[in-house]
Amino acid sequence: MPRRRRTAAWGAAGVLPVALGIAASTFGATAGVGGGGGGGGSAAGTGAPGVEVGAATSFIAATDAIPRLGLSSPAVEVEQSWEKPVPNKSRLGDCGWYGSEGADKETNRRKNRTDLPPTYHAITFDALAGLEWPREAKTRRDKWTKAQLDEIRPYEGIAVTVTGFVVAVRPQKNNQESTNCNSTGEANTDWHVALVGEFGDKEPTAVVVEPTPRIKRRHPNWDPDSLKPVVGKPDSVRVSGYLLLDPVHKNHLGKYRQTLWEVHPIHRIELFQNGRWRDLDGD
């Protein structure tokens, strides 16, 4: 699809009355989701939505008080100065923040985070897809060199909003990953959603964005089938979440994705249909 259609969708975002956050709920108060350690980032102590609010491991979920900056004019580069909230240490039932014993702890901590940011920064798809990363690095970051870690540190953990088109939704309910303590089933696993920058682009050019089990349980309308109507269709999809470099999927490059950068976890999913943005959580 011509680039102008994507620009038109972004332009509409600047004038349509859209909500600015995900549905209000409390993380940590139910369903075994909790925190402990880590922080809420630069807004800690302010009482702002999305910030960890104390040792009781409760969280205030995102509401429309959490701004998404630059929706009508997304940034063409990710700025190193943008805030990077410190990931919390969450639990899901018996599965702790680092996932399985012996796992790549810091990668899994970022995948399993349930804290929410004070702001999101809207960026273009190309700004995300073009981020550099150490291509020779191993599939576990705990085996990376300092130089390799320094290459991703300026960007990882920034909260972004990005728009594209969904070409595949791959639920992982039959697969095992250390981040989820090798559990299976829809309630305990994430989805790999392939997002491309232009309608008609193929999956090898995608960036993967992922809803995680610790976030999904707060969104009863998030179901793999709920995205089926937009897979392979010219309906723009907009997601908001944290930048994450996932080193484990190098074998997916050129087949399911073009980069190891992801938006993971994602906190909000919106579909542009019938001339307006619709939140997957419901209007």
Q: What is the DSSP string of 86-123?
A: PP---EETTB-TT-STTS-HHHHHHHT-----S-EEEB
pLDDT band at 66 (very low <50, low <70, confident <90, very high): confident
Question: Computed over its alpha carbons, how large is the radius of gyration of the chain?
Answer: 17
Instruction: Give yes or no for a contact between 204 and 257, defined as CB atoms under 8 angstroms apart.
Output: yes
Q: What is the pLDDT of residues 234-243, one digit of tens each?
A: 999 999 999 9
With 50 as the cut, is the pLDDT of residue 233 above it?
Answer: yes
Question: Is 4 exposed, middle or buried (CB count within 10 Å of its CB: 0-12, 13-18, 19+)?
Answer: exposed
Mean pLDDT, range 96-103, rounded to an integer: 95
pLDDT band at 262 (very low <50, low <70, confident <90, very high): very high
pLDDT band at 220 (very low <50, low <70, confident <90, very high): confident
Residue 237 to residue 107: CA distance in whole angstroms: 26
**Of 218, 125, 221, 208, nearest in space to 172 by CA:** 208
Domains of the chain: 3-279 (2.40.50.140)
Q: Tokens representing 149?
A: 């870690």
With 90 as the cut, is the pLDDT of residue 139 above it?
Answer: yes
Taking residue 11's Cβ as centre, other Cβ atoms within 10 Å add up to 14
Helix then strand then coil, in percent of the chain rounded to 5, is 25, 25, 55
